[in-house]
Amino acid sequence: MRSPFLRRFRILFSALVFICFFIVFADFKYLIPSKYINIVLSLQFIPSILKFWDLRTLITAGFVAVLILTLLTGRTYCSFLCPLGIGQDIFSRIGGRIKRKFRRYGFKKPFTIIRYTLLAATIIVTLIWGIYLLTLLDPYSIFGRFMTFFGNPAVILINNFLSGILGKFDIYSLSHIHITGFKLLSYSIPVLFFLLIGGLSLTRGRLYCNMICPVGTLLGLVSKISLVRIKFDENKCTRCGRCSVGCKSSCIDFLQHKIDASRCVVCFNCINTCQEKAISYGITGVKPKSAETDASRRKFVAGSLLLLLGIRQSVRAQNRTAPVPKKESTVKENKTFPVCPPGGVTILDFNTDCTACSLCISACPNGVLVPALLQYGVEGMMQPVMDYHKSFCTYNCTRCTEICPTNALHPLVLDAKKLTQIGKAVFIKDNCIVKTEKTACGACSEACPTKAVHMIPYEGNLVIPETNNEICIGCGHCEFACPTTPYKAIFVDGNDVHQAAKKPENAESEMKTPVDFPF
């Protein structure tokens, strides 16, 4: 195929995909139903592998589809489906506007050692130690963090600007939303990566994807044996070099008529650039001389896949039974454990499954989730943790559990979530207003949705809180509402293993319907 429509199709398709991802993360009004979000996310490579690993259902096997797609068509995933890749294409375009030089690439040698080392390191570290490198390098998660840290607040800023204008005209269809942000340190990794990826894509095309991204490298290996790919018609080629200059992957060696399939992201730019129509996209016969290397590479691909799926199980199986000791000195307010969002089941499970894409942080209607610093330890950095000083987990909501693309948060139906105890309220009487000031308060009990925090008689007319841990679900509304500073008089200590709370019992009222006015 040599149609110029291939490129247009790619641009249109990827633009739609990018817009979908943008909306999913920028949906600050929480209008998009979870099932649509799940459809958008289903084909993301790393999250899909993690989800499939937990659930083993056909519908979660999006990564298999991606692998098949790659075997057939090459690294189309990188150009059509990866939001980070599409975002880089947008940056490259902007870069070209700034300086034409930024869009003149030319053939360059691959960073073979760097990219395969990073791929191997990612796989090995993930299998042996934990999810650190995957969290850091999974392109979807990187994109998610960019959106949560920068994109979503930017959209809210625009909303606030518009709502301010509309408010003047007495229109309240948009409302002002307070942007709270996160702890400054949480921004370090997203900012660093934004500078790195932004800078590289602005000036060097898809260098990040071909040098650092482990998914790009892995799919590159697969695409070496792909069925359909970009190829030269050596008879037509005049060696003008336009294709090579315009190739953002720097993978076209026009002098030798070779295209490095492991780096080609199938953007079709070269097809449109070539005036001689010497470049096309079609089925390639395997050349005899490359057969040998192909076999060994195939082995490597198969081996790494096996590694990815096979050994992971044994590592996880060990981990499941052994609780991770927490460094208590790093946790404030005497918490034994941080509070992990509902659906996490155990902190350990959650930590090993979450790649910190931060979608739940963007999607939480209450803004209670924040990226962790060291609350979970190093492994859980940037993973979502409940911050009850900032907000609380609203009783009638299961949003985060519904949209998690890696299944680190298992889906919960509302009735189950209302009985899922993610932590327990701990009352510190010596901090309480009622004791220290001898005045009424009860903010905690007022906020408690199960009345696990209730008031009992205290001195004189005063009442003071008491907690019932059997029915407490650890939603943190008490901690959030407690007005004492800097330390709260009531806080939620996380459960490392989430438990089932008892349903609050409630007897019929003794009061009867009045027959006459009591006054």
Partner 1 sequence: MRRRDFLKKSAGAGLAAGAVFSIGGYKKFLSGSPANAKYDMVAVMGGSPEAMFDLGIQELGGMGSFVQKGQKVLVKPNIGWDVIPELAANTNPLLVKRIIEHCFRAGAKEVYVFDHTIDNWVNCYKNSGIEKAAKAAGAKVVPGNSESYYQKVEIPGAVVLKTDKVHEIIFGTDVFINVPVLKHHSSTRMTCCLKNMMGVIWDRAFWHSHNLYQCIADYALFEKKPHLNIIDCYNVMVKNGPQGVSKEDIVQMKSQIITTDWVAGDAAAAKMLNTEIEKIEYIPLAYKTGVGNMKLDALNIKRIKM
To the nearest whole angstrom, how small is the minimum distance from the Cβ of residue 23 to partner 1? 18
Residue 290 φ/ψ, nearest 5 degrees: -95, 0
Amino acid in position 240: C
How many angstroms separate the Cα of 512 from the Cα of each of 456, 508, 517, 518? 24, 10, 13, 12
235 binds partner 1 (CB under 8 A): no
- Kindly tell me which of 325 and 460 has the beta carbon lying closer to partner 1: 460
To the nearest whole angstrom, how small is the minimum distance from the Cβ of residue 507 to partner 1? 6
Give the DSSP H or E segment for 146. Answer: helix 139-146
30 binds partner 1 (CB under 8 A): yes
483 binds partner 1 (CB under 8 A): yes
The number of angstroms, rounded, from the C-alpha of 130 to the middle of its chain's C-alpha atoms is 17
Query: Within a 13 Å sphere around the CA of 81, how many CA atoms are in the beta-carbon half?
Result: 22
Q: Where does residue 253 rank: exposed (0-12), middle (13-18), buried (19+ CB within 10 A)?
A: middle
* CB count in 10 Å sphere of residue 269: 24
Single out the residue of 9, 36, 172, 300 in contact with partner 1 (rule: CB under 8 A): 172
- Kindly tell me which of 29 and 258 has the beta carbon lying closer to partner 1: 29
To the nearest whole angstrom, how small is the minimum distance from the Cβ of residue 504 to partner 1? 5
To the nearest whole angstrom, how small is the minimum distance from the Cβ of residue 24 to partner 1? 18
430 binds partner 1 (CB under 8 A): no
To the nearest whole angstrom, how small is the minimum distance from the Cβ of residue 40 to partner 1? 22
180 binds partner 1 (CB under 8 A): no
- Kindly tell me which of 164 and 310 has the beta carbon lying closer to partner 1: 164
437 binds partner 1 (CB under 8 A): yes
Is the previous residue joined to 323 through a cis bond, with omega within 30 degrees of 0? no
519 binds partner 1 (CB under 8 A): yes
To the nearest whole angstrom, how small is the minimum distance from the Cβ of residue 510 to partner 1? 8
The number of angstroms, rounded, from the C-alpha of 492 to the middle of its chain's C-alpha atoms is 26
Q: How far apart are CA 349 and CA 35, in angstroms?
A: 24
509 binds partner 1 (CB under 8 A): yes
- Mode of pairing for the β-strands spanning 252-253 and 228-232: unpaired
Q: Give every CB contact of residue 366 below 8 A, 6+ residues apart in sequence.
A: 391, 392, 393, 394, 397
486 binds partner 1 (CB under 8 A): no
To the nearest whole angstrom, how small is the minimum distance from the Cβ of residue 29 to partner 1? 8
Residue 26 φ/ψ, nearest 5 degrees: -95, 5
- Kindly tell me which of 325 and 514 has the beta carbon lying closer to partner 1: 514
514 binds partner 1 (CB under 8 A): yes
Kindly state the number of chain residues that form the binding site for partner 1, as judged by CB under 8 A: 53
* CB count in 10 Å sphere of residue 65: 15
Single out the residue of 66, 447, 478, 490 in contact with partner 1 (rule: CB under 8 A): 447
* DSSP bridge partners of 279: 232
- Kindly tell me which of 213 and 481 has the beta carbon lying closer to partner 1: 481
Residue 230 φ/ψ, nearest 5 degrees: -75, 135
- Kindly tell me which of 199 and 367 has the beta carbon lying closer to partner 1: 367
Which window, 114-122, 191-199, 273-281, 505-513, contacts partner 1 (CB under 8 A)? 505-513
Nearest to 461 by CA among 440, 436, 482, 489: 440
310 binds partner 1 (CB under 8 A): no
Q: How far apart are CA 202 and CA 197, in angstroms?
A: 8
Q: Which tokens sit at 293?
A: 């290397």
Q: Identify the sign of the CA torsion 40, 42, 43, 49.
A: positive
- Kindly tell me which of 291 and 519 has the beta carbon lying closer to partner 1: 519
Contacts with partner 1 by CB under 8 A lie at: 29-30, 160, 164-165, 167-168, 170, 172, 175-178, 365-366, 394-397, 433, 437, 439-443, 445-451, 454-455, 461, 463, 481, 483-484, 504, 506-509, 511-514, 516-519
